[in-house]
Amino acid sequence: MTKIIVDGTEIEVPAEYTLLQAAEEAGAEVPRFCYHDRLSVAGNCRMCLVEVKGGPPKPAASCAMSVRDLRPGPNGEPPEIFTNTPMVRKAREGVMEFLLINHPLDCPICDQGGECDLQDQAMAYGVDSSRFAENKRAVEDKYIGPLVKTFMTRCIHCTRCVRFSTEVAGVTDLGMTGRGEDAEITTYLESAMTSELQGNVIDLCPVGALTSKPYAFQARPWELTKTEGVDVMDAVGSAIRIDTRGREVMRIMPRLNEAVNEEWISDKTRFIWDGLATQRLDRPYLREGGKLRPASWQEAFALIANRVQANSPQHVGAIGGDLASVEDLFALKSLMQAIGSPNYDCRQDGTVLHPRDGRATYLFNATIEGIEAADALLIIGSNPRHEAAVLNARIRKRWRMGKFPIAVIGEQNDLTYDYDYLGAGPDSLKDLAGGKSNFARVLADAERPMILIGQGALTRGDSAGILASIAQLAIDTGVVGEGWNGFSVLHTAAARVGGLDIGFVPQDGGLNTAKMLESAGKGELLSLFLAGADEIDLDALGSSFVVYVGTHGDRAAHRADVILPGAAYTEKSGTYVNTEGRVQFTPRAAFPPGEAREDWAIYRALSQVLGVPLAFNSLDQLRAELYSQYSHMAAIDEVALKESGQIEKLARNSGAINSDPFVSPVSDFYLTNPIARASKVMAECSQLAKVQHVEAAE
């Protein structure tokens, strides 16, 4: 620690701190445009000028000078800086005047208005007139894709967007061309950006040069009601803010959560909101004569009761979807138990993971934040760039720190960082376990090695054997040891871990998803509840009576005999558990449309009609019952301790393994769930990504 005096206040800070960080530590506010905590230092806006005692007779850029660069006083006094002297103020006012030379000053029509750093700083350091009398420079707006809108005349060349794209996102889409007055930020040949994180440049831009294209001219920030929630587009559980106007979601923004997403969110998370209002199910429907017709809740419940009560409990099943909350699955499980059916499963992707093996066997044990502590990584059967874009950015962050070897077994994709490609399937895994690969030695020599297991390795017919062999490899190479557990499963569905935690899997003699589909095709499973399960093979259901509880007219709705409209994740208060086992809570930000209801309430009302009323009548009562059975669900934003010994038990399992290559379950990043498939913006992004992929292949 080093002593430094800031505006007369002596503090101790690390020597590697910049003067800007030291000033903020002392409570002084220093304006900035180009500086960002998570990006490299550029030092080109000059707004953060401070005066250094004993230094040159001009202010210094506080973002580009470290505390260790300062000289002590003549008698060994701590170095001293000032942030509020007349020289500093005059310099900042001059910088602001310079930055506004070419800015169009069009705040009333700018989507950044009300949330603009330039506005805030202009209030503090702006002047009422300018010495610049020449004509302003105009810069042509650039096309950089369907997500980010450009007003490049406003650009002050802070290069935040360039540094983010290069350093965090790992793509070289943005750069600067020209010099002096001709300098411009642009993409290569004005093509669309290719990153799954590109929307974050909107938040980074301090002057309104980059704004949200789908949100353009839709609302103003002071009109919006802001609700802190959790993202469900993947299993990362990114912290988000849902902005609503009335009953309509207008935009989704990131929130700071250092343990999960830092301050980034994926483009699917950010721009999914238009899909919340389209193709919505807002009333019950019944299928008659091959066609769906609107019906009342009483009609729908009566038909379900007649069909279900006519069947034996063994002939009734339920499959949980990827976006269901813990409360929804708990209510559905309670309903199936009340009926007497053991056939229910939350694993619609067919993953081999099971709670009987222990919680450590299906979680990302290293934790997302723990990636930065790892010193070697093996990725098996996963494409984290598409399955969890924000988590992949964390891997890249660790890779940029250096001394972080990475290897991949599975598909060979551009993950935004370098890696050793070991092979496509289980044969390469077998070679690694047998010591035939050099990377086995890398894992064994590492202090905190990590294995990332994707669903591409866990949703196959031979996944039981593969999972056991990976567990054995983890034990042999020190991935699982005292004080460190690097055995990390990456889920792709937000509901999966929560469903496994509450035991939403077949009970004794019950059927899993694959067997339920097989049984339905044979005419043995007569009734099936789909809780937002749209990713299964619906053609395999045969003549089964299908009840779909969901939000959108997606795949399952076209097959269903009865449709019961549910609530989307923004329209209900719910609990989710992310891939690392972190329990997260999201409140309701809006209300479901029309006659739609929260899913748990649908199951409770249906249980009454079926003659098996559930033990709870409110959400609070449901949660009390949930917490009494699964106490860790009450510990919000905490990761419960896991027993690493469960991995050793898992390694004792066995199973046949074939040679088929691992394939990621996410073939299209933008269209992974019903909300995404209802989004016009996501459809445009998907089409553009396919074109870019073809062009890259050529």
pLDDT at residue 684 in the model: 95
Provide the pLDDT confidence category of residue 54 given band limits of 50, 70 and 90: confident
Cβ neighbors of 289 (< 8 A, separation 6 or more) are none
Q: Look over the chain and give the mean of its residue pLDDT values, rounded to a whole number.
A: 93
Buried b (16+ CB within 10 A) or exposed e, 598-611: bbbbbbbbbbebbe
Query: Could you give the CA distance from residue 195 to residue 267 in angstroms, rounded to a whole number?
Result: 9
Residue 594 pLDDT exceeds 80: yes
Q: What is the pLDDT of residue 169?
A: 94
In angstroms, rounded to a whole number, what is the distance separating the alpha carbons of residues 443 and 450? Answer: 8
Residue 231 has what pLDDT? Answer: 96
pLDDT band at 74 (very low <50, low <70, confident <90, very high): confident
Cβ neighbours for 567, distance < 8 A, ≥ 6 positions apart: 551, 592, 596, 597, 598, 599
User: For 689, phi and psi rounded to 5 degrees?
Assistant: -65, -40
In this predicted model, what pLDDT tens digit does every residue of 533-576 receive, in sequence order? 999 999 999 999 999 999 999 999 999 999 999 999 999 999 99
Dump pLDDT digits (tens) for 325-381: 999 999 999 999 999 999 999 999 999 999 999 999 999 999 999 999 999 999 999
Element housing 619 (H / E): helix 619-629
Q: For 155-164, 476-485, 532-541, 636-645, which range has the lowest pLDDT when averaged over its residues?
A: 636-645
Listed residue (509, 505, 534, 538) closest to 521, CA to CA: 538
CA-to-CA distance for 281 and 557, rounded, in angstroms?
9
Q: In this predicted structure, which of 271-285, 521-535, 631-645 has the lowest mean pLDDT?
A: 631-645
Mean pLDDT (whole number) for 478-494:
93
Average pLDDT over residues 160-170: 95
3-state helix, strand, coil in the chain (%, to 5): 35, 20, 45
**In this structure, what are the phi and psi dihedrals at residue 262, rounded to the nearest 5 degrees?**
55, -110
Q: Which residues lie closer than 8 Å to 220 by C-beta, 6 or more apart?
A: 113, 114
**Confidence class for position 189, pLDDT limits 50, 70, 90:** confident
d(CA 170, CA 167): 6
In the three-class reduction of DSSP (H, G, I as helix; E, B as strand; rest coil), residue 685 is classed as: helix
Which pLDDT band holds residue 640 (cuts at 50, 70, 90)? confident
- Please tell me the predicted confidence (pLDDT) of residue 510: 92
Reply yes or no on whether the pLDDT at 696 is more than 70: no
> pLDDT tens across 204-218, in order?
999 999 999 999 999
Pair 261, 236: CB distance under 8 Å: yes
The token duo for 187 is 């993409």
Q: What is the pLDDT of residue 75?
A: 84
- Is the pLDDT at 642 greater than 90? The verdict is no
Answer yes or no: are the C-beta atoms of 668 and 686 closer than 8 Å: yes
Rounded distance, CA 400 to CA 167, Å? 8
230-261 pLDDT, tens digit each? 999 999 999 999 999 999 999 999 999 999 99
Residue 698 has pLDDT above 80, yes or no: no
| Distance separating alpha carbons of residues 156 and 48, to the nearest angstrom | 15
CA 594 from chain center: how many Å?
Answer: 29
> Do the Cβ atoms of 564 and 549 come closer than 8 Å?
yes
CB 616 within 8 Å of CB 338: no
Q: Percent of the chain at pLDDT above 70?
A: 99
Handedness of CA 60, 62, 66, 72 (dihedral sign): positive
CB atoms within 10 A of CB 673: 26
Q: Is the pTM of this model over 0.85?
A: yes
Radius of gyration of the chain (CA): 28
pLDDT, residue 182, reads 86
- Is the separation of the CB atoms in 208 and 195 below 8 Å? no
**Do the Cβ atoms of 554 and 536 come closer than 8 Å?**
no
pLDDT of 133 reads: 86
